[in-house]
Amino acid sequence: MSTIKTKDGTEIYFNDWGTGQPIVFSHGWPLSADAFEDQMFFLASRGYRCIALDRRGHGRSSQPWDGNDLDTYADDLAALVEKLDLKNAIHIGHSTGGGEVARYIGRHGTRRVAKAALIGAIPPVMLKSEANPAGLPIEVFDQLRAGVVADRSQFFKELSLPFYGYNRPGAKVSEGVKESFWRQCMMAGFPASYFCIKAFSETDLTQDLKRFDIPTLVLHGDDDQIVPIADSALLSSKIIKNAKLVVYEGAPHGMCTTLKDRVNAELLSFIES
């Protein structure tokens, strides 16, 4: 297995496919590097080196009690980038992974970064507050935590429906995709499954987005039931200097899977532009 060890002893697993300019993928909660396998295979087949880590507590990485916060996630990502000595890298983050990319740039800058893409991503901040009145109320995230504690296996099975838009009329449901989602979710440790909810919902990434000084693609579905577009992409694309916003009509949160051909072509066009 390909792993690195962070300063607190956590082992971070990563996939490393192909050769060429590096593309680094940061996955969403509570998935793993496998969530990006369609994009990685497509881009590695076209002359890029595709690297995706399993976030601490997720997938094949260690399951520590501590460090399930975006600062630590970003520092783990930086440790991987530095260990592999990646330069001129393109960072692609989905959902919580988009927050990880934002915090990585906020904490570590863009010295090693060429471009970034945020897909269905959480920035600037999901939680409703006086400063963010359009956000989601804390009760939404309390319900997620309650679901994880009560029966996380069943909870994740049910979460796959809104995640991929399979609860919409006329949706073409893939049992295989649902099972892959559940498998990845259950590989995440219980602490990460629970504590990461606070990390992705309450972390304000506004100042991190202001540090972006590289070409950035913001890609989001307007039927995203997990990270609603109005309080995420429509705001972050205005905060990031010269960001390119692309909205997919009717697309769900898990569009890297359900619309993989379209997303792959979008990413390749952005990378090569």
How far apart are alpha carbons 222 and 238 in whole angstroms? 17
In the chain, which stretches have pLDDT less than 50?
none
Provide the strand spans (E) within the chain.
Answer: 3-5, 11-17, 21-26, 48-53, 89-94, 113-119, 216-221, 244-248
Alpha-carbon distances, residue 182 vs 14, 153, 239 (angstroms): 20, 7, 34
Separation of CA 105 from chain center: 14
What pLDDT shows up at residue 232? Answer: 97
How far apart are alpha carbons 219 and 212 in whole angstroms? 16
**Mean pLDDT rounded to a whole number for the chain:** 98
Which is catalytic among the residues 26, 61, 95, 193? 95
Residue 133 CB neighbours (<10 A):
8
Alpha helix (H) residue ranges in 7-134: 37-44, 70-83, 96-108
What pLDDT shows up at residue 153? Answer: 98
Task: Decide if 253 is catalytic.
Answer: yes
What pLDDT shows up at residue 270? Answer: 98
Characterize the bridge pairing of strands 244-248 and 216-221.
parallel
What pLDDT shows up at residue 225? Answer: 98
Contact between residue 12 and residue 4 where contact means Cβ atoms under 8 Å apart: yes
What pLDDT shows up at residue 164? Answer: 98
pTM score: 0.97
Which is catalytic among the residues 91, 94, 220, 253? 253
Which is catalytic among the residues 34, 54, 75, 224? 224
Alpha-carbon distances, residue 103 vs 49, 61, 150, 252 (angstroms): 23, 20, 31, 24
- Helix (H) or strand (E) holding 257, with range, is helix 255-258
Task: Decide if 95 is catalytic.
Answer: yes
What pLDDT shows up at residue 197? Answer: 98
Contact between residue 113 and residue 105 where contact means Cβ atoms under 8 Å apart: yes
What pLDDT shows up at residue 205? Answer: 98
Q: Tell me the percentage of the chain whose pLDDT exceeds 70.
A: 100
For residue 58, which of 26, 80, 18, 89 has the smallest C-alpha distance? 26
Kindly report the three-state secondary structure assignment for every residue of 49-77: EEEEECCCCCCCCCCCCCCCCHHHHHHHH
Give me the numbers of helices (H) and strands (E) for the chain, helices first please.
10, 8
